[in-house]
């Protein structure tokens, strides 16, 4: 089996610290010899690395239960509520901040369009649902919100979607488009100072829905509803 020192070293890595994999290889090679049971060091290291960096795209969302604020009421939200519907999870760092209200207000301005597509929006931060209500009551921008504002003080949902900042208790700006089967179809994560665009999110949702309902077709760059799509085939190779 893999040596404990190797496992400890690899699991201490952050998700994208590939540079340290070479160091891990050297350590494991030192501890492993052909007479030992288990996989050779290279296989061990890269199997662990593969599990650490696996994309959430095309994976099923994990079960969760949380309290939320919506339309003046506190409601419970679970993963079961997503069944059979398109959903967007819109993570942000914190209430009563700066970029966050501009993003949430932008989504609120497009909420009716998302609803026409049968899409439900769930904003999520590690604040409580009580804080969401207080913010909704005091901010003109947040008062426009009619979609569900989930509180994640336990960090369960932020951890499930891998956007929780280690040691900070805050979520990154992460956007996830989830299909009616609970499968994540699109992921976007931006740095603290980079706000997102609800109009482009709407475009991506439309593209995801189109591809889901038109097997064999794909949407090219900047695709807008009604425009031509592509049908990948041998004849198309090198022609674009």
Active site residues: 100
Residue 120 near residue 147, CB atoms below 8 Å: yes
CA dist 74 and 20 (Å) reads: 46
Q: Which residues lie closer than 8 Å to 227 by C-beta, 6 or more apart?
A: none
CA dist 140 and 240 (Å) reads: 47
Residue 167 near residue 174, CB atoms below 8 Å: no
Residue 203 near residue 209, CB atoms below 8 Å: no
Residue 93 near residue 173, CB atoms below 8 Å: yes
Q: Classify residue 82 by its DSSP letter.
A: G
Task: Choose among 129, 141, 66, 67: nearest CA to 97.
Answer: 141
The tokens of 114 are what? 């998302």
Burial (Cβ within 10 Å: 0-12, 13-18, ≥19) of residue 34: exposed
The tokens of 66 are what? 């949380």
């Amino acid at each position: 089996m893999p040596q404990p020192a190797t496992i400890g070293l690899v699991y201490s890595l952050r998700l994208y610290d590939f540079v340290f994999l070479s160091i891990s290889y050297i350590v494991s090679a030192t501890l492993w010899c052909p007479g030992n049971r288990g996989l050779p060091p290279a296989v061990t290291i890269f199997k662990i690395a593969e599990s650490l960096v696996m994309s959430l795209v095309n994976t099923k969302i994990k079960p969760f239960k949380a309290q939320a604020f919506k339309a003046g009421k506190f409601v419970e939200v679970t993963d079961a509520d997503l069944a059979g519907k398109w959903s967007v999870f819109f993570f942000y760092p914190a209430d009563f901040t700066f970029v966050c209200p501009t993003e949430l207000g932008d989504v609120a301005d497009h909420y009716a369009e998302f609803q026409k597509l049968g899409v439900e929006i769930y904003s999520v931060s590690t604040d409580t649902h009580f804080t969401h209500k207080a913010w909704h009551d005091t901010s003109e921008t947040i008062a426009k919100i009619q979609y569900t504002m989930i509180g994640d003080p336990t960090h369960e949902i932020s951890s499930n979607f891998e956007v929780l900042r280690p040691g900070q208790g805050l979520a990154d700006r992460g956007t996830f488009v989830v299909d009616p089967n609970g499968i994540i179809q699109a992921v976007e994560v931006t740095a603290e100072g980079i706000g997102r665009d609800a109009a482009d999110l709407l475009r991506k949702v439309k593209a995801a829905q189109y591809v889901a309902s038109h097997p064999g077709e794909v949407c090219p760059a900047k695709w807008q509803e009604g425009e031509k799509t592509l049908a990948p085939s041998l004849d198309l190779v090198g022609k674009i």
